[in-house]
Amino acid sequence: MVKINKLFIENSFAFVLLALFIIVPLAVGENADIHNIIIYILIYALVGEGWNLISGFTGQTSFGHAAYFGIGAYTVAVMGNKYDVVPWVGMLAGMLIAAALAFLINYQLFRLKGHYFAIATLAVSEILRTIFSVWPYVGGGDGIKILFRPENKALWLAIDVRNRLPFLYITLALFVAVFVLCKMLENSKMGYYWKAIRESHEVAEAIGINPQNYKVYAMMLSAAIAAVGGGLYVQFFKYIDSYVFSLDVSMIFVLVTVLGGIGNVYGPIIGSIIYYVLDLAMRRLLGGTASGLNLIIFGILIIVVVVYQPKGIMGIFDDIVNRRRLRKLKASQATTNASSNQTGGDSK
Amino acid sequence: MRNIIEIRNLTMKFGELIANEDVSFDIEHEHIVSLIGPNGAGKTTLFNCVTGFYKPCSGQVTYYPEEDNKIDITGQPTHKICKLGITRTFQIVKTLSEMTVEQNVMAGAFLHTNRTSEARELARHILEQTGLTQKRDELGRNLTVAERKRVEIARALATNPQVLMLDECMAGLNQTEIKDVMNLILKLKDSGQTLLIVEHIMEAIMPISDKVVVLSSGKKIAEGSPQDIANNDDVIKAYLGEKYHAKSKKS
Amino acid sequence: MLAQVIVNGILTGFVYSLVAVGLTLTWGVMDIINFAHGDFLLWGMYTAFGLWSVFSVDPIFSLPVTIVLIFLLGYLTYVLIIRRVLNASGLTALLATFGFSMVLKNIAQLVFTANYKNVTNTIFGGDTIKLGSIYIRHDYLAAAIGSLILSLLVLLFINKTKTGVAIKATSINRSTAQLMGINTDGIFAFTFGLSGACVGAAASLMVPFTPITPSSTALYSILAFVIVALGGFGNIKGALLAGLLVGVVESVGGYLLGTSFKYAVIFMMYLIVMQIRPKGLFGW
């Protein structure tokens, strides 16, 4: 009982968020626009969590996560359309293919450091983009439109366009699973090793970590998570073409995570919420009259947030928490100082 | 008394520059061996060769984790050498700055356990031992130099090494802080730790060493007990200078 | 035919070089990935287009104007945005430049619409020179020569002038440079301006043969990223040569494998080259 209480208190923020994600879709009624937005928020946050593993925790910036996102999407679409495979199986297959690809490519690429690595990830997704735009098996330049066969209705999760709630909750469940996984990983040996590698390659080696291996583990997990996002995306959007491998798509994952707070499990979801709520607000406010004006204001807002708090929205939260903690610390130090002085106080 | 590491004819060159030339010495089990020498004598290079950061051009480093178990670790990757039981600290401290002190030490402690709770327990024990308990939740980047050096040692200790190699862990500290580190090192030795120490501060290193090895311009010029070294004219000329000479005579 | 393809590649390559030289200045010196670099180029092209369509100024004469204007754009970008995120992690600055890129791109779209704009009837026109069996278009040649001259000027400037050496010193170690009495803030602002000037010039040179739309420069910035990495970050000579290499590889790759593969070939080349030289072809 005590343990459960502790779980709730320590993660109260997460539970409040979860409650919101459960209640809001019901509260807004049959509002397709809001439901769409929430689904987007969840999908991009989910992929953001994956990106965060390799780029936030492990410190290896990827500008090419669209590659794994796209692989996940294409796998579900191709397997479903051509072989009537259930999306669940398709997503599983997509995860495995993405992880395998991540292993094959990155085992070599991790010899590169910093920006050189980042550009290499971009190169990989651009190469995939070209391949998928000319490969007839996956629809080439026309892309793939997801087929609906009445006799095979159970195939797709998001069947009814007007009522997206079941799909929304499935997406939510998958996001929660990924979130919990990432949080557990952060507090495991893996998470500590990733962060050690991020902070110093040399220290990592000196304390017995094989950086190459742990970076590859991070990338494989990250790719598999991105593939899940891709699988969800294609079921929701019902169409896919090679644009899904573009830098624009990769950058969405980077953006939502960095905006929310890089290296923080809450970062992607907070960033994604802010991103899409602002986006929606802009569109509502300005209507369709001045297309692009919303994006201009949106761009300015991003700049303002970043300039105000370079660590993103979670950085702003941290500031508030830290200020409170500092005050507490000062109060407690005043009392302990007296005793530590007597014992010689070996720390300064 | 047995040897735990044997360094034989180790040579390391960077292009034309010879950093270590034909260096040989032993590190005895449960002893403190110190490596001294003027700036640029090749001490850190030797550290890097032993711990696998560099692959020596020639020579051999042999490690005896147990009496009759012999492993050639020359040119092995650093993380493998660490797993075998040899861990080092860095001259230019490399605190994991976005991690707390406890997390820094836990990262080391995970070498022998997969469980976070066990790693934390071990880390707390080591924080206690190194006098860092109070700073447990402080971020690495907020620490003073003295604290960073301590974290550096604590993190290395957390990997539970047979041989702990300290690279100038006292440089930049004040007298009290140096005393603290000296006591810590002696405490470690008493608990059965073997140490190889690179140090500049003679006053600190001479009293605690069992053996001193002197490098100059990449070559070993002397090896012996601190007393022998202090009275060795070659060493005094090459390195210690009049200051220490005079001081040691006074005492 | 192959000779023609290679010549075309070299001509395009010089223009790539100039764009990449601009990018390597900010990326190498300040360690800031400027996602708005392509949008600087875009605004340079729209400036040249505006001057041509309103005042009938030939792009070759509007060159000084685009250089100065985009220099100012770069300078202001630094002063208003980059300066404030300079001490944050690299990705934070990237986010800021990304936001700025959105702003620039969408203002362009608002003002000029998404329709293609073309600058026609320029002095160098569409005429060609014939060298043996090779045809060279005047405007391509002018752009290539102009780009080469300007790239070399930047190289000379960095290596030979006092400000240039200060830029170099700052790129190697910011705090030491500061201790040496270099106004690093001023250097950074100037470097950002210089980076803008390079793309401003490239814009005027390209405009006679490049249709303009808000998305037409996106590819240039991706290619510039690859070229900069290929040449080694902050290495101007590297960017110049890598730009040339990319131009030729693109052209020859497209000729041999079909145009849909021409960019894939470049990315593939990057991956292979980096396996052999993980710090770029000319990296230090």
Q: Which two tokens stand for residue B194?
A: 């073997």
Q: Are residues B78 and B170 in the same domain?
A: yes
Residue pair C218/C9 in contact by the 8 Å Cβ criterion? no
pLDDT in tens, C86-138: 877 767 888 889 899 989 999 998 888 888 988 887 777 778 888 888 888 88
Q: Which residues of A touch C (CB under 8 A)?
A: 55, 61, 108-109, 111-113, 115-116, 119-120, 122-124, 126-127, 130-131, 133-134, 247, 251, 254-255, 258-259, 262, 290-293, 295-296, 298-303, 306-307, 310-312
Kindly compute the dihedral angle of the four CA atoms of residues C184, C185, C188, C193, in this order, to the nearest 10 degrees.
Answer: -140
CATH code for the domain of B37: 3.40.50.300
Q: Report residue C84's pLDDT band, with 50, 70 and 90 as the boundaries.
A: confident
pLDDT in tens, B175-188: 888 898 899 999 99
Q: Which of B78, B134, B173, B196 would best serve as a mutation to test chain A binding (most A beta carbons within 10 A)?
A: B78
Q: What is the pLDDT of residue A343?
A: 44
> What is the total count of domains within chain B?
2
The SS3 call for residue A193 is helix
Q: What is the pLDDT of residue A345?
A: 38
Q: Residue range B1-11: average pLDDT? A: 91
**Domain stops at, among B160, B179, B209:** B160
DSSP notation for B102-117: HHHHHHHHGGG-S-HH
Residues of chain B with C-beta less than 8 angstroms from the C-beta of A343 = none
Name the more confident of A195 and C27.
A195
Q: What is the pLDDT of residue A344?
A: 41
Q: Are residues B136 and B175 in the same domain?
A: no
Q: What is the pLDDT of residue A347?
A: 39
Q: What is the pLDDT of residue B211?
A: 93
| Lowest-confidence region among A313-322, B2-11, B13-22, C228-237 | A313-322
Break chain C into its structural domains and give their ranges.
2-214
* CB spacing of A130 vs C261 below 8 angstroms: yes
Q: Are residues B97 and B166 in the same domain?
A: no
Q: What is the pLDDT of residue C133?
A: 84
* CB spacing of A205 vs B53 below 8 angstroms: yes
Report ipTM (2 d.p.).
0.89
Q: Report residue B247's pLDDT band, with 50, 70 and 90 as the boundaries.
A: low
- Which one, of B5, B13, B6, B16, lies nearest residue B58 by Cα? B13
Q: Which domain holds residue B141?
A: 93-160
Tally A–B CB contacts below 8 A: 96
Name the more confident of B170 and A176.
A176
Q: What is the pLDDT of residue A152?
A: 54
Q: Are residues B112 and B230 in the same domain?
A: no
Residue pair A239/A144 in contact by the 8 Å Cβ criterion? yes
Taking 3-state DSSP, the helix, strand and coil percentages for chain A, each rounded to the nearest 5, stand at: 80, 0, 20
Q: What is the pLDDT of residue A341?
A: 47
Q: What is the pLDDT of residue A214?
A: 96
- Of B79, B103, B146, which is closest to A208 when you measure between CB atoms? B79
Residues of chain A with C-beta less than 8 angstroms from the C-beta of C81 = 303, 307
Q: pLDDT digit of tens for each residue in chain A (348 aa)?
A: 556 677 777 778 888 889 899 988 888 887 778 888 999 999 999 999 999 999 999 999 999 999 999 999 999 999 988 887 878 888 999 999 999 999 999 988 888 888 889 999 999 999 999 999 999 898 888 888 887 665 555 555 544 445 678 888 989 999 999 999 999 999 999 999 999 999 999 999 999 999 999 999 999 999 999 999 999 999 888 899 999 999 989 999 998 998 888 888 999 999 999 888 888 887 777 765 556 777 788 788 888 888 877 677 777 777 777 777 777 767 776 665 555 444 443 433
* CB spacing of C229 vs A258 below 8 angstroms: no
Q: What is the pLDDT of residue A102?
A: 95
Break chain A into its structural domains and give their ranges.
31-269
Residues of chain A with C-beta less than 8 angstroms from the C-beta of C106 = 292-293, 295-296, 299
Q: What is the pLDDT of residue C150?
A: 94
Q: Which of B53, B55, B87, B96 would best serve as a mutation to test chain A binding (most A beta carbons within 10 A)?
A: B96
Q: Are residues B147 and B205 in the same domain?
A: no
Q: What is the pLDDT of residue A326?
A: 72
Residues of chain A with C-beta less than 8 angstroms from the C-beta of B156 = 206-207
* CB spacing of C110 vs A259 below 8 angstroms: no
**Residue in chain C nearest A296 by alpha carbon:** C103
Q: Are residues B166 and B243 in the same domain?
A: yes
Chain C nearest C-alpha distance from A297 (Å): 7
* CB spacing of A207 vs B99 below 8 angstroms: no
Q: What is the pTM of this model?
A: 0.88
Angle, in degrees to the nearest 10, between helices A211-237 and A189-199: 110
Span between the terminal Cα atoms of chain B, in Å: 30
Q: Are residues B168 and B238 in the same domain?
A: yes
**Residue in chain C nearest A293 by alpha carbon:** C106
Residues of chain C with C-beta less than 8 angstroms from the C-beta of A131 = 264
Average pLDDT, chain C: 89
Angle, in degrees to the nearest 10, between helices A32-51 and A165-186: 20
- Which one, of B45, B22, B63, B71, lies nearest residue B194 by Cα? B63
Residues of chain C with C-beta less than 8 angstroms from the C-beta of A299 = 99-103, 106
DSSP notation for A13-52: HHHHHHHHHHHHHHHT-S-HHHHHHHHHHHHHHHHHHHHI
